Structure 1
C-alpha cells in the first residue's frame, strides 16, 4: 500500500516502534487509520474536528499521533466517520444485542426477561443493573397535574403521540431540576416521567388497580373493556418486549440529543419526534385495520390481494433485521393465546402470514402482534403506537444514561456538500 500524505508505513500491523522520543509512542497516519478502522483521509478529518492532534515528524516522515490519544478514541467508540468516510456511524452500546432470531438486553434474552419480570422491573434493571422485584414507578402530583392540563388543551382529534409529546413538555416544565444530569437525578426523572405519560392520557374505560403496575394503569386508557389479568399480562409483555431494539431511528435521535447534553425530558421528546412516523412507531395501525378487515370479510386472501393490487406492502410482515421470525412477535403471540377472544384474531394473523408466504416468505413482525393485541382487546388502531412510545421511553433513558458518559457532542457528522461551487452570484 502506498503511504498517504507523505506518511511512512510503520514497522508493525498496528503500530511499530515509537517515532517520538523517550516513552512517548508516536503513530503514523496509516497506523492510526488501522487502529481506528477508518481510511487515512478520515484521520485528517478527525484532526480538523479536534478529535485528534497531530505533530510533524522531525525526520520529515509526515504527521505523527500520540498512541495514547488514539487508544482513548478507540475506547470511546469514536468510529463515526465524517461525510465521504467509511460508511454509517458505529456507536458502541452495551444495552441491546440483536443476533439472528434473538435479541438480548445486557446479554440476557429479552423474551425470557419479559416472561419472568414486569415492565417496570426490566426498565429499572436496564438502567441500574439491579433487579428489584415489585418496583413501581410513581408520578409526582405536580407533574401529573401539569401534564393532564396540557393534554386536555389539545384538539379532540389529537393522536396519542401528540398527547405524549405535550405531556413530556409539561412534565419538563414542572421539574426545575431537569438540567441535573447526574445519574441519580436522571433515574429519578425517568421513574417519574413514564407514569406521568400514562396518567396524562385520558381514560376511556373503567379503572381497576390490579397489582398497581404500569400495565394496569395504562389499560383503561387504551380500551373501554374491563381489565382482566390475562389481557393486562399481554399488555405488560408488549411493553417489556418493546423497551429497546438497538439503534432504531428514534433511539438514534434520542442519543444525538443526549450527546448535546439535553436533559432527559428533551431526550424523550427527540425520540417521540422520530417515533411519530408510519415507518416506525405507527406501523401497527395499518396492521390493526388489516386484521379487522380479515375478520369482517372472513378471508385473508382477499384482503392481501387488495393490498397487493393497490401497490401496498402487506402490513405487519417482514423485518429488515430478522431474516426469520421476529422473536418479539412470537413471544407476544404466545401470551395472547391465554386472552379470551384471541383465537380468531391469532388465526387471522397466521392466515395473512401463510397467504403472503405463497409468493414471498415474510414472517410476522412485532407490529402484527401488537395489532393482534389491540384487535383482541377492543383497543383503537393507534393503541399499538401508544404502547410502543411508552415502552420505548425506558429504552431512550437507558441510551441517554450511556451517552451522558461519553464525550459531549461526539455525534456531529460533516455534510457532503453537493450544491453549486462558490463563488455564486447574489440572487
Structure 2
C-alpha cells in the first residue's frame, strides 16, 4: 500500500535534504540539533521529519564557499545566515513576529507604545505613563530653522536636545534607559509632525498634524506597528554597532536614521513615489512598467528576499486602504510579472490615499522603526560586547 505524502510548502524530506547537502543522515540530524536547520513533523507521518528548504539551500551555499572565516562572513553579510542572536523579532514562514506575537495581528489593535513595551521587555511597567519629555529651548528655534529638511535630517539634529538622550549607555541598567528611550520616540514623532514632543499617543500626534479623521489615524497606527522592527536590517545593524560601543541612545538612533535614508532602505519610498508619478502622467501602468523594463530600470516597491510569497506588512496595509484605480492598475501590471508589493509600496499607497504631505511615507518608517532600534540598542547593551568584524584585504601587497 502506497503511503500518501502531504507536501508542505518550503519543506523537503530527508532524502532530498541529504542529497542537496551531500551529507549523511547523521549529519542532517546534527544540523537540526545545533539549531542551524529547522525541521517539522511530516503531517502524513509523525515518525518522519521534513526540513526547511531555505535552510538547506543556505547551508549548501555555505559549504560551497568553504569554511574559511572570511568567506563565511562575506556570505553571511549578504542576506545570509544570522550574524547576531536576538530575542526581539522573528521572520519565518512568510510571517513577522515581535517576541512571539504576530506583527500583522498586533497591527489590528495595538499602539506603537504597546509595541515598545513588548519589545523593550518592560513587563507590567509602563515607561510611557510619564509626562512629556523636557526639551531644550533651542528645540523650537532649531525645529523652525530645519523645516525644509527631511524628517531624517530634522530628527538627527534635534535628538541631542532631548533631556537624558546623550547619556552613555555603558554600564547602565536597561530599565534606567527607558525614560530617555520614551523621550526619543516622542521626539522623533514630534520632528516628523513639526511640533514639540508631547505625551499623546504617537499615532495621534501624527494624525493631528496631518489633519486626519479617526479612520486615518487608525491607518497610521497600524502602519507604525508593522514598521516597528524587521530583524537585523541595515539600519538596525548600524544601531547595534553604535550601541555596542556604549554610546548614547541618541547616537545609536542617529546611525539608524542615516542608514534608513538610503535608496536601498527606507529611502526606497521616494523611488516608489516617482514610479507612481510616472503612472499618473502616462495614465497607463502597463506601458510605464514595460518602458522601465526596456530601460533596465528598477521596479521599486515590489518583492522582498525574506518573503518569497509576499510581504505580509505590505499586504496588511494595502488591505486596509480604499480601492484606487491607479494603484489597482499598477498592481495588475506587476502581477503579470509575478511581482508582489512590499511595505514600501504600501506606505506610498497609504500616503496617497490619505493625501499626506510628500515624504510622509518615510516619516512613518522612521517613527515606527525608532521603537525597534531602541529595542536592539538595549539588547546590545545587555550583551556588553563590541561588534568588531575583520576585513579581508584585497589591496596592493
TM-score by length of 2: 0.74
Deviation at 1:178, TM superposition (A): 4.9
Determine if the alignment matches structure 1 residue 109 to structure 2 residue 85: no
Aligned residues: 328
* Alignment of structure 1 residues 39-58 onto 2, 5 Å: none
* Alignment of structure 1 residues 22-421 onto 2, 5 Å: 83-85=70-72, 87-88=75-76, 90-130=83-123, 138-143=131-136, 145-154=137-146, 157-171=148-162, 175=165, 177-179=167-169, 181-201=172-192, 203=194, 212-221=200-209, 223=210, 226-295=211-280, 297-337=282-322, 343-344=323-324, 347-358=325-336, 360-409=337-386, 411-421=387-397
Provide the residue aligned with 2:44 in structure 1. none
Deviation at 1:159, TM superposition (A): 1.6
Deviations 1:219-250 (A, max 9, x none): 344x4xx3201111001111010000010000
Q: Secondary structure of the equivalent of 1:141?
A: coil
Change (3 A) 1:161 1:133: same
Q: Secondary structure of the equivalent of 2:70?
A: coil
Q: Secondary structure of the equivalent of 1:316?
A: coil
Deviation at 1:298, TM superposition (A): 3.2
Structure 1: 5+ residue runs without aligned partners?
Answer: 1-12, 15-33, 38-80, 338-342, 422-427
Structure of greater Rg: 1
Provide the residue aligned with 2:62 in structure 1. none
Deviations 1:162-184 (A, max 9, x none): 11111123326x65645563212
1:111–1:328 Cα contact (<8 Å) kept: yes
Distance in 1 (CA, whole Å) between partners of 2:107 and 2:309 is: 20
Deviation at 1:292, TM superposition (A): 4.3
TM-score by length of 1: 0.69
Distance in 1 (CA, whole Å) between partners of 2:131 and 2:190 is: 10
Change (3 A) 1:192 1:138: farther
Deviations 1:149-208 (A, max 9, x none): 333333x54222111111123326x6564556321221111111111122234649xx9x
Deviations 1:274-329 (A, max 9, x none): 11101101111222333344345432113223322332122211111110111001
RMSD: 3.0
Distance in 1 (CA, whole Å) between partners of 2:279 and 2:215 is: 24
Larger proportion of helix: 2
Deviation at 1:268, TM superposition (A): 0.6
Change (3 A) 1:304 1:35: closer
Change (3 A) 1:217 1:36: closer
Structure 2: 5+ residue runs without aligned partners?
Answer: 1-25, 28-32, 37-67, 77-81
Provide the residue aligned with 2:41 in structure 1. none
Distance in 2 (CA, whole Å) between partners of 1:420 and 1:192 is: 48
Deviation at 1:398, TM superposition (A): 0.5
Distance in 1 (CA, whole Å) between partners of 2:255 and 2:239 is: 5
